[in-house]
C-alpha cells in the first residue's frame, strides 16, 4: 500500500520543475493529513476491486485528497467516501457497469434507427476524472455530441447519483458545424435536443439501477471553480449549469451545492400540447419508449448483452463547450 502512495505522488504530480516539486509537496502534505481516511479508503477499494482491480484503476482515485471532485465544496473525506462507495456499489451490485480502465467503454443503446451513427455509450475518459467515475455520452460516429459525468454513492442507506459535469461538442469543432449537428439531431429526435435526450437516458439508467435521488452540481460549486485551479479559472466557463438543470425541472435539494432532478421521465400533458404539434410529441414519446426499452434490456441483470469495447473518440479540451 505504501508503494501505491509513493507512486501516486510521482504519477499525479509529474516533473521536477519548481512548480512540480511544490505540487508534490502539497500532495504529500494532504496525504499525511488525511492518512487515516486514505488508509481506510484504500482498504475499502481493495476489498471491492481486489488488488488487481485496484491496479487497473490506477492512482487517479488517490488524487482526490488534493484536488476537487464533483463539487468544489466537498472536503477530502467526503470525496474519498463517494469514490469508494461508487466502486463498492458497482462491484457488489452492478459488475457489468464496472469500468476500470480509461480506455474501456460500453455501448448501451444503438440509436441508428432514429439518427444514423448515433448511440449511447458509457465510458470513463481521463478528462472527466474530477467530475465523475462514469460518463454517459451521445455519440454520432466517433464524435461526442453530449456527455454527462456522474458517480453513484450510498447515503443513509439510499442509492444516489451525483452529476458533476455536462458537456457538448469539444472546441476542436467550430461553432457553426456544432450548431448544425445539434440542429439536425434535434430534428431526428422529434424536437428533443441531444442534451435532453441524454439526460432522459441517464434518468432511465438511474431508475433501472434503483437510484433514489438524482443530484446535479450547481454552477457556483462546479469543481473548476475550486482554488486548486486558480482564482480566475471559473471565469472561463461558458455554460451556466443552473440554467441547464432548471430547464429540466431541477429544484433546490438538501445538498446545498447540488440541485435535485426528477427521476421520472419527462412527459407533457396532452392538453398542454398545441394541436399542430401533437403528432410530433407522439413520435417523440415513441422514440423515448424505444430508448428506455433498449437501455433496460442492456442494463443489469442483462449484463450478458453488454459488450466491453475499446476507447471511443478523442479527448476534447479539458473544459469542453456546452451543447446548445
Mean pLDDT of 249-256: 90
The kind and range of the H/E element at 309 are strand 308-309
Residue (of 167, 306, 294) closest to 237 by Cα position: 167
pTM over 0.75: yes
Q: Do residues 167 and 322 touch, judged by C-beta distance below 8 A?
A: yes
Mean pLDDT of 252-279: 84
**CA-to-CA separations, 26 to 30, 36, 129, in angstroms, rounded:** 6, 17, 19
**CA-to-CA separations, 208 to 168, 264, 296, in angstroms, rounded:** 25, 11, 6
Mean pLDDT of 276-304: 83
Q: Where is average pLDDT lowest: 16-20, 28-32, 151-155, 247-251?
A: 16-20
Dihedral in degrees, nearest 10, Cα atoms 194, 205, 299, 56: 90
Q: Do residues 294 and 119 touch, judged by C-beta distance below 8 A?
A: no
Mean pLDDT of 121-142: 97
Sheet holding 143-155, edge to edge: 251-252, 258-261, 213-217, 158-167, 143-155, 134-140, 118-123, 105-110, 308-309
- pLDDT computed for residue 178 by the predictor: 97
pLDDT at 196 over 90: yes
Q: Do residues 31 and 9 touch, judged by C-beta distance below 8 A?
A: yes
**CA-to-CA separations, 203 to 32, 148, 193, in angstroms, rounded:** 39, 11, 15
Rg of the chain on CA atoms, in Å: 20
Amino acid at each position: 500500500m505504501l508503494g501505491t502512495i509513493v507512486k501516486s505522488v510521482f504519477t499525479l504530480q509529474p516533473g521536477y520543475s519548481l512548480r512540480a516539486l511544490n505540487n508534490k509537496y502539497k500532495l504529500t502534505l494532504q496525504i499525511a493529513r488525511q492518512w487515516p481516511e486514505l488508509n481506510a479508503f484504500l482498504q475499502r477499494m481493495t476489498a471491492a476491486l481486489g488488488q488487481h482491480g485496484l491496479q487497473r484503476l490506477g492512482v487517479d482515485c488517490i488524487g482526490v485528497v488534493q484536488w476537487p471532485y464533483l463539487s468544489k465544496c466537498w472536503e477530502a473525506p467526503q470525496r474519498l467516501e463517494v469514490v469508494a462507495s461508487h466502486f463498492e456499489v458497482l462491484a457488489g451490485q452492478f459488475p457489468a457497469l464496472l469500468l476500470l480502465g480509461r480506455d474501456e467503454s460500453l455501448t448501451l443503446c444503438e440509436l441508428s434507427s432514429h439518427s444514423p451513427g448515433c448511440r449511447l455509450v458509457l465510458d470513463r475518459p481521463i478528462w472527466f476524472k474530477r467530475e465523475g467515475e462514469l460518463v454517459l455520452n451521445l455519440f454520432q460516429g466517433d464524435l461526442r455530441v453530449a456527455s454527462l459525468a456522474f458517480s453513484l454513492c450510498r447515503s443513509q442507506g439510499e442509492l444516489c447519483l451525483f452529476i458533476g459535469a455536462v458537456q457538448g461538442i469539444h472546441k476542436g469543432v467550430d461553432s457553426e458545424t456544432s450548431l448544425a449537428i445539434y440542429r439536425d439531431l434535434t430534428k431526428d429526435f422529434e424536437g428533443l435536443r441531444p442534451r435532453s435526450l441524454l439526460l432522459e437516458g441517464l434518468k432511465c439508467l438511474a431508475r433501472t439501477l434503483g437510484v433514489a435521488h438524482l443530484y446535479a452540481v450547481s454552477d457556483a460549486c462546479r469543481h473548476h471553480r475550486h482554488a486548486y485551479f486558480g482564482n480566475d479559472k471559473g471565469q472561463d466557463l461558458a455554460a451556466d449549469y443552473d440554467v441547464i438543470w432548471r430547464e429540466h425541472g431541477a429544484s433546490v435539494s438538501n445538498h446545498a451545492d447540488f440541485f435535485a432532478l426528477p427521476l421520472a421521465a419527462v412527459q407533457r400533458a396532452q392538453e398542454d400540447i398545441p394541436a399542430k404539434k401533437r403528432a410530433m410529441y407522439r413520435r417523440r414519446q415513441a422514440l423515448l419508449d424505444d430508448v428506455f426499452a433498449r437501455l433496460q434490456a442492456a442494463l443489469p441483470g442483462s449484463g450478458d448483452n453488454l459488450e466491453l469495447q475499446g476507447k471511443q473518440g478523442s479527448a476534447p479540451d479539458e473544459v469542453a463547450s456546452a451543447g446548445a
